[in-house]
Amino acid sequence: MKVRVILWKEFTDLSRDWRTLISTILLPLLVLPLLGFMAFTLTREQVTQIIVVVEDESMVRLGNYTFTATNFTRILSSIAGKSNALVVVGRDYGALVSSNPYFDVAVIVPEDFIANATSYNATALLKIIVRVGSAKASEALSIVRRAVEEFNDLLGKVKVEYLARLAGVRVDYGSIRNPVKLSTPEYAGIGGRPASIVDELRAYTAKILMFALLFIAPPISSFTSDTIIGEKERKTLESLLVTPMPYTELLVGKIFAASILGALAALADVVGVLGYFYTLTLSYGGVLPFIDPQLVLVHSLVVFMTSLLTASLVMPLVLRSKTIRGAQASATAVTSIAMIVYFAVLFVDIPKLPLTILAILYLIPFTHPALIVYNYVNGELLQAIVHAIVTVTASLVLIALSVKMFKPEKILTSQ
């Protein structure tokens, strides 16, 4: 077969275009991890600001303890200090927001706060004001909620101890506040099969890898849309057509070349995505993605199959296009469909969807590569193989369709 001649030609052309190589392969490797680092760095440099307006100056004694609004503000300041947050306390709301216009959250301590907080039949209320557009509002609210929880715990313990002393009984505050506890979570796979934290990490990594498949479609669509119509507009298609190479091998070579080039670019994107998640996870102390060599191998195969599928989907649309702009518009439509599917897998378990929705998704070829990774990670090897067969079969059918549609004379004479 002379397909290797076309592959050699495509790779030779690309090797001369170093700008394309950098933009499609090297940039994702550098930019995505850099984005994660920048997001963490800029976020940490921006101090979360909470202003507290204390309207309650009262003091209430409960047993051996004396409570004022200062008890709460001290707890809030202590928690904020551990989270790179600043707490500004004052009595005049207008003056506080004027001197701190870019506050994230304001907490209003009303006049009846301590009286209600120390009561046995009332509840104290803190008023919360969130500045519109604040990037740190959620973090500030989390700090305030933790402070309220700690203050509630202190009040609850004092109240229980005081009532127990009055009643002359001995109590354990922990058993009253938390009479029921959860055990340390155990893990199970689909159908209840035994699993471990390692399996959970693999499943988490698989979601990232399935999401990263959306980066495959854009470069391959771009390569494929240029491979025939681009050759025509550059006046090089005629030279290819007069060679003794069969048209079938010419077209198949073009599709495989786009698949391989796109797969390389996509793998660079996947590494970049993993680097992005690793950077953010390390920065915020979350759960690290789990790199399993077998999972990486399976994903690499899935990347190639998805690349071939994308090129096979785009090629019939390219052959129907008259100009490079039309071809690129068709490629963009395919890319959009892929993005919808692979963005969805980040948030849902596809097999759990209702049958009507599942049937629609199964008609979209891009669904099956994602399910290969999903089923492999969950130990459903037979289903993973079925989805792999569907992916390859769909690609071959589309390639056969492209071969049938490939009419060189029509392409050359179309305007």
pLDDT of residue 143 exceeding 90, the answer is yes
Percent of the chain with pLDDT over 90: 27
Domains located in the chain, CATH noted: 3-40+193-413 (no CATH), 48-181 (3.40.1710)
- Band of pLDDT at residue 259, cut at 50, 70 and 90: confident
157 versus 28: which is more confidently predicted? 157
Q: Mind listing the pLDDT tens digit for each residue in 376-391?
A: 888 889 999 999 999 9
pLDDT of residue 415: 53
pLDDT of residue 112: 92
Contact 224, 265 (CB under 8 A): no
CA dihedral of residues 126, 132, 138, 139 (deg, nearest 10): -90
Question: Averaged over 331-340, what is the pLDDT?
Answer: 79
Question: Averaged over 279-287, what is the pLDDT?
Answer: 58
Listed in sequence order, the residues at least 6 apart from 269 whose beta carbon sits closer than 8 Å to its beta carbon are: 28, 32, 212, 215, 216
Q: How far apart are alpha carbons 170 and 336 in whole angstroms?
A: 66
Left, alpha or beta for 133 (phi > 0: left; psi -120 to 50: alpha)? left
200 versus 150: which is more confidently predicted? 150
pLDDT of residue 383: 92
CA dihedral of residues 4, 5, 9, 10 (deg, nearest 10): -30
pLDDT of residue 409: 63
- Band of pLDDT at residue 215, cut at 50, 70 and 90: confident
Residue 77: how many other CB atoms lie within 10 Å: 18
pLDDT of residue 303 exceeding 70, the answer is yes
pLDDT of residue 39 exceeding 60, the answer is no
What is the pTM for the complete model shown?
0.65
Q: Phi first, then psi: give them for residue 286, nearest 5 degrees.
A: -90, -165
pLDDT of residue 147: 95
Left, alpha or beta for 106 (phi > 0: left; psi -120 to 50: alpha)? beta
How long is the chain? 415
Q: Flag the least confident range among 167-176, 197-206, 383-392, 398-407.
A: 197-206
pLDDT of residue 248 exceeding 70, the answer is yes
- Band of pLDDT at residue 25, cut at 50, 70 and 90: low
pLDDT of residue 58: 93
pLDDT of residue 69: 94
Q: Mind listing the pLDDT tens digit for each residue in 43-100?
A: 555 788 999 999 999 999 988 889 999 999 999 999 998 888 899 999 999 999 999 9
For residue 252 the two structure tokens come to 């198949």
70 versus 349: which is more confidently predicted? 70
For residue 26 the two structure tokens come to 């090297």
pLDDT of residue 161 exceeding 80, the answer is yes
Q: Flag the least confident range among 13-17, 144-148, 200-204.
A: 13-17
CA dihedral of residues 156, 160, 161, 163 (deg, nearest 10): 140
